[in-house]
Amino acid sequence: MPLEMGEVEQMRAFQEEIARLKKVNEALMNRVEHSTDVAGSSYALFESNLLLQNKLKEHTGKLVEMNHALQREIREHKHTEKALRESEQRFRGIVENANDIIYVLAITGTFVYISPNSKNVLGYAESENLGRSFEPLIHPDDLKKCRAFLQKVIETGEKQSGIEYRIKHRDGKWRWHTTSASVLKDDTGEVCYFIGIAHDITENKTVVTQLERAYRNLREAQTQVVQSQKMAALGRLVAGVAHEFNNPVGAVQSANNTLKLAVKKLDKLIDASDPGKAESMQPAASILSIIQNCQQVVEEGMQRVSSIVKRLRTFACLDEAEIQRVDIHENLKDTISILENELKPGISIRTRFAKLPDITCYPAKLNQLFLQLIRNSNQAFERSGEITVSTRILEESVQVVVSDTGRGIPEKNLNKIFDPGFTTWGVGVGVGLGLSICYQIVQEHHGKVEVESQVGKGSTFTVSLPLDLEKRLTSMAPLPRNGA
């Protein structure tokens, strides 16, 4: 470090004083040599010269001491200057070669300093952002939380970290960053600067996104396996039930037909009997009436069993894995028939069907969709209530609406109910795949599903399906997910 101006002037004055005293000494010596002829003058001059020499030595000693002190101070200044220079070089090297961006913001949010590596990280040169606000660089959706973050730094006066936000690269792409910041205060304790370090986490975010996507794909694959297993199990069950029912139903039907023929013959015999014996035939006629009533009950029961077996087979659609043209109302009726015995006490199902044309679809999958939606509504009740299944037509699509008067879905859960694994039914009631399967089936039909709910007032699921799935498959992409 250079000498102070006062020190330089003092050094120069001492040097000039030494030179002046030397000249005075030389002049006195000359006077001694040339003035011996004056009585007593040589001794006086000699004495004066000694005094001057002593003073000169004294001043010279002081000057030498001061010179040594100044030299020591100069060496110390140079050592300090070297240490400061080395420290500054180390700090600059750390800042300029750090992987993260080191920045300083004024209290107004403008850049006072930004490390040179911002060119490598974000593509901007230092000069492009110095004196400018940070806000134009931040994604509009993240700007509010960035402002709140800086406000918290001011309020607490302590280091804050953990905020994640998107910042715009010079190429126009958004990069994910996380930052930590602290404050620098002036002598009065007022905050004047933010000092922060920003770290690029885009690659981490990408990896996390890929993992989430892989997890979703895995869950979707799981739901497909579960759905396939359910339908396969249901198909086997229906096939077994139909097989087991065929023989006894056939036997009952044969016996019923025989009984019906016998009753008709008895009835003819009674009618053809002698009118004079009508009174004696009265008990026989009464017994015949009882037999006819029993035969009618047997026939109705047999028809009911046959209808149940038929609906089971229709519901499972064992031979209809491909796209078929169906009356969607028949699918709904079959599903409701299957679920009637599952309904909680006090729960009823009401239907309001509009006049609809046949649609093309995967019948078995739609049955699974309707089954899960109605079953989900049944689970929404804690006491008596009503489930309404209605249909309507809208341009090139039909809508199936399943609504209930149950407990409803909290708003915070509305965006999660179609996620695999999410359930509010509790442990042992569900595994969180039912509505996820519903969503997947709707997507396979290139439709959409919307849900509206209010806690304590019930829920409404609206499924929109194209009239002609084959046409949709060849001309359109899947409709976006809405309300799920």
- DSSP codes joined into one string, 90-156: HHHHHHHH-SSEEEEEETTSBEEEE-TTHHHHHS--HHHHBTSBSGGGB-HHHHHHHHHHHHHHHHH
Residue 429 has pLDDT above 60, yes or no: no
335: nearest Cα among 295, 355, 365, 357: 365
- Do 337 and 397 have their domain in common? yes
Q: What is the CATH number of the domain that holds 154?
A: 3.30.450.20
d(CA 303, CA 86): 101
Q: Does some domain include residue 330?
A: yes
Provide the residue range defining the domain that includes 275: 221-316
Residue ending a domain, among 47, 64, 96, is 96
Tell me the three state secondary structure of residue 80.
helix
Give Cβ neighbours of residue 4 (< 8 Å, ≥ 6 apart).
none
Could you give the CA distance from residue 435 to residue 422 in angstroms, rounded to a whole number?
9
Measured N-to-C along each axis, helices 202-272 and 282-316 cross at an angle, to the nearest 10 degrees, of 160
Q: 208-225 pLDDT, tens per residue?
A: 888 888 887 787 777 667
In a domain, 11, yes or no: yes
pLDDT of 319: 46
Statement to judge: residues 435 and 328 lie in one domain:
yes
- Indicate if 309 and 353 belong to the same structural domain: no
Three-state helix/strand/coil letters over 24-76: HHHHHHHHHHHCCCCCCHHHHHHHHHHHHHHHHHHHHHHHHHHHHHHHHHHHH
Q: Are residues 383 and 451 both part of a single domain?
A: yes
Are both 357 and 276 inside the same structural domain? no
Residues 26 and 153 in one domain: no
Q: What is the pLDDT of residue 140?
A: 92
156 & 270 share domain: no
CA-to-CA distance for 113 and 93, rounded, in angstroms?
Answer: 15
Interacting residues of 425 by C-beta distance below 8 A, sequence separation 6+: 379
The sheet carrying 174-185 orders its strands as: 111-114, 101-106, 191-200, 174-185, 160-168
Last residue of a domain, one of 200, 232, 252: 200
368 and 431 assigned to the same domain: yes
How sure is the predictor about 352, in pLDDT bands with cuts at 50, 70 and 90?
very high
Residues 325, 230 share a domain = no
Residue 400 reports pLDDT greater than 90: yes
Q: How confident is the model at residue 39 (pLDDT cuts 50, 70, 90)?
A: very low
With cut-offs at 50, 70 and 90, classify the pLDDT of residue 161. confident
**Residue 71 falls within a domain, yes or no?**
yes
CA distances, 101 to each of 138, 350, 468 (Å): 15, 64, 56
Locate all alpha helices (DSSP H) within 273-351, ordered by sequence: 282-316, 328-339
Give the pLDDT mean for 168-185: 89
Please indicate whether residue 236 or residue 409 has the higher confidence score (pLDDT). Answer: 409
DSSP tag of 172: S
Q: How much is the mean pLDDT over the chain?
A: 77
Considering just the CA atoms, what is the radius of gyration of the chain in Å? Answer: 51
pLDDT tens profile 387-398 = 999 999 988 889
Kind and range of the H or E run holding 196: strand 191-200
Specify the amino acid at residue 260.
K
Of 96, 120, 155, which marks where a domain is finished?
96
Tell me, yes or no, whether 229 and 296 share the same domain: yes
CA distances from 444 to 366, 447, 466, 478, 479 (A): 10, 8, 11, 8, 10
- Characterize the bridge pairing of strands 347-352 and 385-394: parallel
C-alpha 307/C-alpha 301 separation (Å) is: 10
Q: Are residues 298 and 368 in the same domain?
A: no
169 found inside a domain = yes
| Same domain? 301 vs 172 | no
Number of domains observed in the structure of the chain: 4
**pLDDT in the model for residue 483:** 41
The answer, yes or no, to whether residue 154 has pLDDT greater than 90, is: no
Per-residue model confidence (pLDDT) at position 277? 57
Closest CA to 184 of 169, 172, 196: 196
